[in-house]
Amino acid sequence: MSAFYFDDDADLTLLDGKTVAVIGYGNQGRGQALNMKDMGVDVVVGNIDDAYADIAREDGWDLQTIEDAAAAADVKLMLTSDDSQPEVYENRIGKSLKPGDVMSFAHGFNIHYGEIAPDPRIDVVMVAPRMLGEGVRATFLEGRGFPSLIAVAQDASGVAMPMCLAISKAIGSTRMGVLESSFEEEVLIDLFEEHQPGLYALRAMYTALVEAGCSPEAVMLDLYASGESVKFAEYGRDLGAFERMKRTSVTAQFGHLVWSKRYFDEEKTLEGMRGMLANIKDGSFIRALKAEKAKNQKAIGEVWKDNNAHELVKREHALYQLLGRRPKDRPAPGEDES
């Protein structure tokens, strides 16, 4: 088993006398910045002047430019979006780097694929929460923390791993435990999970049930809209992927564990998954992603248009308005909201 580390394995005093810059106050930035502040770490926040900057000011931060925050800090947490990071590093952070600095990433993407070539004089580490940004903050306040994958890509100082653990403790992750990994492994697992066609399977389930005469509203409530699946996911988190089935009825156990296997081709599914992994490893995915960006996200726009035209999305909008989850005057997805 890979090494796990917890609070007692991490020395928060390594951050004493150092300034930590949170670069980007978005999904991960806000939670990590607030957690570190509560842990007594000297934190500065750098962000462009956008909606996230407004949130940072509302949270009480004396917001700085990315350049100023990076220049003032010894430890820089790169928490802007993946696609923006090469430009941010090259034009806003790189010029202020000095020997002994630490750069920490929440995702291994740009280091693994060589989109960022870090200054050889600095430490490059990764603390990758296995948690959404809101959960990073919520679980910290609850006192239980969240797991992360950690790794060292460059150890110029000789103490990169202890510093990586100190950062992990500062954001609250060693409370639950951090697992030693690698930039490559984190990227492979993260992208693989994001390539699963679960949303399209859900759409197909909806279509099949409606074709069978079920009402769209009843189908959506049962498949996802009631929130029952959230509790089922919590059982998986707390008990285990299969062990949670013991919390269900015998009928459900027979259906999920026995009857469903006649509709599942494991070898064919594995073949597809191995193909996904091969496309991540050989760079096919990142090349396609770059091409998509060069086309101004044309394929993403087309897929949004296709999904917004689907009956599930239209019916869902009406249901969520009825349930009070969306304003009555909000246009349906894909309609002009001006």
| pLDDT confidence of residue 2 | 82
Q: How large is the average pLDDT for residues 173-187?
A: 98
Selecting among 107, 112, 195, 317, the annotated active-site residue is 107
pLDDT value at position 94? Answer: 93
Q: Do the Cβ atoms of 47 and 56 come closer than 8 Å?
A: yes
Q: List the beta bridge partners of residue 126.
A: 105, 151
**For residues 267 and 66, what is the distance between their CA atoms, to the nearest angstrom?**
49
Q: Across the strands, what pairs with 190?
A: none
Contact criterion met (CB below 8 Å) for 29 and 45: yes
What is the pLDDT confidence band of residue 336, given thresholds at 50, 70 and 90?
Answer: low
Neighbour count for residue 243 (Cβ, 10 Å): 11
Q: Are 129 and 173 in contact (CB under 8 A)?
A: yes
* Measured distance between the N- and C-terminal CA atoms of the chain, rounded to whole angstroms: 54
For 270-298, the pLDDT digits (tens) are: 999 999 999 999 999 999 999 998 898 89
Mean pLDDT value of segment 146-175: 98
pLDDT in tens, 34-69: 999 999 999 999 999 999 999 999 999 999 999 999
With 0-12 / 13-18 / 19 or more C-beta atoms within 10 angstroms meaning exposed / middle / buried, residue 127 is buried
Strand order in the sheet with 178-180: 4-5, 178-180, 148-154, 123-129, 102-105, 75-78, 19-23, 42-46
Rg (CA), the chain: 23
Q: Is the Cβ–Cβ distance between 236 and 223 less than 8 Å?
A: no
Q: Where do runs of H (alpha helix) occur along 144-241? A: 160-170, 183-194, 198-211, 216-220, 228-239
225 in Cβ contact with 219 (< 8 Å) = no
pLDDT digits (tens, 9 = 90+) for 225-247: 999 999 999 999 999 999 999 99
Report the chain's mean pLDDT, rounded to a whole number. Answer: 96
CA–CA gap between residue 105 and residue 116 (Å, rounded)? 11
Residue ranges and CATH numbers for the domains of the chain are: 4-181 (3.40.50.720), 193-322 (no CATH)
Q: How many CB atoms lie within 10 A of CB 297?
A: 13
Residues 19, 75 contacting (CB under 8 angstroms): yes
Which tokens sit at 252? 């459900």
What pLDDT, in 10s, does the model give residues 144-157? 999 999 999 999 99
Which of the 8 DSSP states describes residue 28?
T
Q: What is the pLDDT of residue 180?
A: 98
Helices (H) then strands (E): counts for the chain: 16, 8
Q: Compute CA distances 96 → 17, 84, 326, whole Å.
A: 19, 18, 45
pLDDT tens digit sequence for 295-332: 988 999 999 999 999 999 999 999 999 999 999 999 99
71-87 tens-digit pLDDT: 999 999 999 999 999 99
Q: How far is CA 202 from the centre of its chain?
A: 21
Share of the chain above pLDDT 90, in %: 96
SS3 326: coil
Say whether 107 is catalytic: yes
Does 208 have pLDDT greater than 90? yes
Q: What is the DSSP letter of 74?
A: S
Q: Report the SS3 class of residue 150.
A: strand
Task: Check whether 338 has a pLDDT greater than 50.
Answer: no
pLDDT higher than 90, residue 337: no
